[in-house]
Amino acid sequence: MSTFERYLTVWVALCIVAGITLGHFFPAVFHAIGGAEIAHVNLPVAVLIWLMIIPMLIKVDFGAIGKVREHWRGIGVTLFINWAVKPFSMAALGAFFIGHVFAPYLPADQINSYIAGLILLAAAPCTAMVFVWSNLSDGEPDFTLTQVALNDTIMVFAFAPIVGLLLGLSAIVVPWETLLLSVTLYIVVPVIIAQVVRQIALAKGGGGALKHLLAILQPLSLLALLATLVLLFAFQGEQILAQPLIIAMLAVPILIQVYFNAGLAYLLNRAAGEAHCVAAPSALIGASNFFELAVAAAISLFGFNSGAALATVVGVLIEVPVMLSVVKIVNSSKGWYEAGASVQQRIARVKGSA
């Protein structure tokens, strides 16, 4: 790990402060940048996300992707967390904290809207940023891509029914334009670019050239991550300063559900004997949210100035810092994870068949 990566937490904290400060003093600049979007997908952020995820996607070897079948337990755990646990746990946490614990301190007419926004945030698993988290935790790239593709396929059919069930609405307006554009921008296009770059590198110098290229791109990926953080907090700088207590209260159930779902996925993978390179991205995919879709759905259903829209924005703000903390936890606990009885049995089987 480089010195830059070792102090990543410090850089993240500085970027959050810088983003809020710049957003407060230069709101017009960031309103203009924030307005450069199509179907609620911000284009400058999309470019930065490309820079973040392409290094991970360059590692994907489509010739070996069939081997992902060996990790069926990890895939099963992630699907269980994403679709059977996360939306419902968030509904329960939102009802408890926003509907009861913090209710006396929140605008009464917005409480149900806040809870709805939290549910929308949890109902769709992340599409793009999970490639960054997987890369930072040495996750298996083929597993990560396959898992994201599976989640996106399920999302097309399951997002509206789950949200409708939890919100008690008979008809949910799914922002299809946002969903399809996000999948295209964050999966299809970067996968194509990454694979073209991969083939060029391999053709020029084989595995050595590929390794050298990845060493160059890794710092660029982290810089793009920090730049994204500055933009996200700058976009909402005025709102953070205007209502910090409401934002802090909305952050509580989001933080709890992230750590709960990540921890549950991590423990289930350990019990199932999955490799750490699968368990780490499984935990991260299980905990992260597709915030572009959540924000678009909240605005479509409840309006731009609604409590639901604000709740989804809070999810955007804390996504990067909290997921980086999950990355740190899974990385630092690798020794403990691999000491598990089921994991040791799997390692022994792999060595025996080698």
- Asked which of 45-49, 93-97, 276-280 is least confident by mean pLDDT, the reply is 45-49
Q: Which domains, and CATH codes, for the chain?
A: 68-209+240-353 (1.20.1530.20)
Contact between 253 and 97 under an 8 Å Cβ cutoff? The reply is yes
For the ranges 113-122, 168-177, 287-296, 326-335, which has the lowest average pLDDT? 168-177
Q: What share of the chain is helix, strand, coil (3-state, %, to 5)?
A: 85, 0, 15
pLDDT at res. 64: 63
Q: pLDDT-based confidence at 99, cuts 50/70/90? A: very high
Res. 332 pLDDT band, cuts 50 70 90? very high
pLDDT in tens, 144-177: 888 888 888 888 788 888 888 888 864 556 667 7
User: What per-residue confidence (pLDDT) applies to 150?
Assistant: 86
- Tokens for 147, please give them: 């898992």
Residue 325: half-sphere exposure toward Cβ, Cα within 13 Å: 12
Q: How far apart are CA 306 and CA 310, in angstroms?
A: 7
Q: What confidence score (pLDDT) does residue 278 get?
A: 95
Q: Which DSSP category does 37 fall into?
A: E
pLDDT at residue 1, rounded to an integer: 54
Between 75 and 2, the more confident residue is 75
For residues 280, 148, 322, 293, the Cα torsion angle rounded to the nearest 10 degrees is -170
Highest mean predicted confidence (pLDDT) among 72-86, 158-172, 311-325: 72-86
- Contact by Cβ (8 Å): 228, 45: yes
Give the number of other Cβ atoms within 10 Å of residue 122's Cβ: 31
Confidence (pTM): 0.83
pLDDT of 61 > 80? The answer is no
Q: How far apart are CA 316 and CA 320, in angstroms?
A: 8
Tell me the pLDDT of the chain averaged across its residues: 86
pLDDT of residue 336: 96
Determine the Cα–Cα distance for residues 71 and 5; give it in Å rounded to an integer. 29
Is it the case that residue 83 has pLDDT exceeding 80? yes
Rounded to a whole number, what is the largest CA-CA distance in the chain?
A: 65
Residue 51: band (very low, low, confident or very high) from pLDDT cuts 50, 70, 90: confident
Task: Output the pLDDT for position 4.
Answer: 65
* Confidence class for position 76, pLDDT limits 50, 70, 90: very high
Most confident of 43-47, 128-132, 318-322, 333-337: 333-337
What pLDDT sits at residue 231?
Answer: 87
Query: Which stretch of 2-11, 22-31, 115-124 has the lowest confidence by average pLDDT?
Result: 2-11
What share of the chain in percent tops pLDDT 70? Answer: 94
> Per mean pLDDT, which range of 81-95, 123-137, 252-266 is the poorest?
123-137
Mean pLDDT over 255-267 rounds to 96
Among the residue ranges 10-14, 108-112, 297-301, 317-321, the one predicted with the least confidence is: 297-301
Q: Measuring CA to CA, which residue among 259, 261, 265 is closest to residue 75?
A: 265
pLDDT tens digits, one per residue of 200-221: 999 988 888 888 988 888 788 8
Q: Is the pLDDT of residue 181 over 60?
A: yes
DSSP letter for each residue of 291-302:
HHHHHHHHHHHH
- How many other CB atoms are found less than 10 A from the CB of residue 209? 14
Give me the pLDDT at residue 307, please: 87
Q: Band of the pLDDT at 11, cuts 50, 70, 90?
A: confident
Q: What is the mean pLDDT of residues 173-191?
A: 75
Give the number of other Cβ atoms within 10 Å of residue 70's Cβ: 14
